[in-house]
Structure 1
Amino acid sequence: MARALSVSELYAKKRKLLAFEGEWEKHLGQPEPFKTWLIWGDSSNGKTTYVLKLAKYLSQFGKVLYNSMEEGDSESMKKAFKRVGMEDVRRRVMLLDNEPMNELEERLKKKKAPKIVIIDTVQYSEMTFSQYKHLKETLPNVLWIYVSHEDGKLPDGKVAKRIRRDAMIKIRVVGFKAFPTSRYGGTEPYIVWQEGADKYHGSEF
């Protein structure tokens, strides 16, 4: 049985944080590096572009592995990478072409494996919530970022909805704006594409 922490011990405990700055700190705060995030939204709202911009920013903190289970190694994904200027970070962001989750787990168990992993999407991974918990417990030193389709205003399907409840950061992308709910202090929406956001939400945004 683990020992209970006193209030002073809890306050004194030093935690590693991702030192986000500028617009990303205003958007998400300064997160812990080994937790779960969920990003969801409808198609044609800027979700993929947002996820790739986030991956590019995160690459300064460690290598990012992007498992594209929906678009894979496609012309559309190549264009999306070019759209965010991913060539600036070169091998700091690596694309996987629809790698099955069991193979991804084995990859991540290797020495020097990336510690930031994006799964796009929960639906195409066909994972159960038990498999989600298994990965989280087996590979606790990984930042897991899951991407989901949308059903109404919520993630699509029972698994994605349960991941949303468990996630430390939740981000809904709608009308080319990413709206965060972060346990680390971030509150400001992130503009994925200004012209598209203005048309969708109104020019005051």
Structure 2
Amino acid sequence: MKRAYSPRDIAAKKWRTLPWDERWSGPFGEPAETASWFICGRSASGKSSFVMQLAKEFCRYGIVLYVSYEERVNQSFQRRMGYLGMNEVQGHFRVITDDTYDELVARLKAPKSPRFVIIDSFQVAHDMGMDYPKAKALTEMFPKKCFVFVSQEKKGEPMGGGALKLRYWCDMKIWVSGYKAYCQGRSINDAGSYFTVWEKGLVQTSNKIQTSNKIQTSNKIQTNENK
């Protein structure tokens, strides 16, 4: 018979949390180093830049493996690494593009393997042999590692049933929109707070929204005056 935990057993459990600063702890709290992450957002929302910034932060605490299934190592990926200064974490950041699921497992079983693993994206990883049960199995197979699953979005939801299940399974659920990253998971700290992915993009997005609202208001006024 499997073990049943008592309140005392649960209260005695301890986790090593990420010792990051207020910029990160404000919107995301202090998650365990081994927490699983699910990051979702539509195209051009700032999602890829956020994931790279998160990867750079993780490099402060251990080796990061970025599994770039979707973009591979193309020009935009190279440019993003450049403007985010990934050369500063040269010894802690590695990128792979074409490991199958079994090859990834073998890589992670090797001595001194990465502590943080980012899989981008979960949908393209499906072509490499990974589905929801296998993604979940990864987190159980390597309980001392942190897994980050990046997901495509369709109509405001993760694309595909497997992605929806994975979002529920993961500890940290992050939604990126308009260059803001919001925590929708169990470790949310300050309600309504967010991580600013790109300040200039955030200002541009806000200006567009304000302009759009002014145009809509003006059109309503003109419509009412013409009645």
Q: Under TM normalisation by the shorter chain, which class is it?
A: over 0.9
Where 1:147 maps in the other structure, the secondary structure is strand
- Deviation, structure 1 residue 22: 1.5
SS at match of 1:179: strand
CA–CA distance in structure 2, aligned partners of residues 6 and 190 of structure 1: 37
Contact 2:37 2:147 (C-alpha < 8 Å) held by counterparts: yes
TM-score, length-normalised on structure 2? 0.84
Helix, strand or coil for the counterpart of 2:79? helix
Q: Which runs of 4+ in 1 moved over 4 A?
A: none
Structure 1 or 2: larger helix share? 2
Q: Within 2, Cα distance between the matches of 1:28 and 1:146?
A: 16
Which ranges in structure 2 are unaligned for 5 or more consecutive residues?
210-227
Deviations 1:162-195 (A, max 9, x none): 1111111111111111111232243421111112
The 5 A counterparts of 1:76-91 are 76-91=76-91
C-alpha distance in 2 between matches for 1:85 and 1:186? 28
Q: How does 1:107-186 map to 2 (within 5 A)?
A: 107-126=107-126, 127-186=130-189
Amino acid across the alignment from 1:138: M
Contact 1:20–1:29 (CA under 8 A) maintained in structure 2:
no
Structure 1: unaligned runs, 5 residues or longer: none
Q: CA deviation at 1:29?
A: 0.9
C-alpha distance in 1, partners of 2:200/2:60? 28
The CA deviation at 1:35 is: 2.8
Residue in 1 that maps onto 2:94: 94
Counterpart residue type for residue 113 of structure 2: A
The answer to whether the 8 Å contact 1:17/1:32 transfers is yes
Q: TM-score, normalised by structure 1?
A: 0.92
How many residue pairs get aligned? The number is 204
CA distance in structure 1 between the aligned counterparts of 2:11 and 2:115, rounded to whole angstroms: 27
Give 2:189's aligned amino acid. Answer: G
**In structure 1, what is the equivalent of residue 37 of structure 2?**
37
Letter in 1 for 2:60: Q
Cα distance between partner residues in 2 of 1:171 and 1:147: 9
Residue 70 of structure 2 aligns with which residue? 70
SS at match of 2:184: strand
Give the Å deviation of 1:203.
Answer: 9.2
Partners in 2 of 1:10 and 1:202 — Cα distance?
Answer: 48
- Greater Cα radius of gyration, structure 1 or 2: 2
Task: Check the 8 A contact 2:136/2:166 in 1, yes or no.
Answer: no
Secondary structure (helix, strand or coil) at the match of 1:107 reads helix
Q: Percent identity among equivalent residues?
A: 32
User: What is the CA RMSD across the aligned residues, in angstroms?
Assistant: 1.8
Q: AA paired with 1:141?
A: K
Cα deviation code 1:57-89 (max 9, x no counterpart): 111111110000011122221101012111111
* 1:87-126 Cα shifts (integer Å, max 9, x gaps): 1111211111232222111100011100100000001001
What is the SS of the residue equivalent to 2:73?
coil
The alpha carbon displacement at 1:17 in A equals 1.5
Deviation readout 1:121-169 (Å, 9 max, x if unpaired): 0010012212112222222221110001101111111111111111111
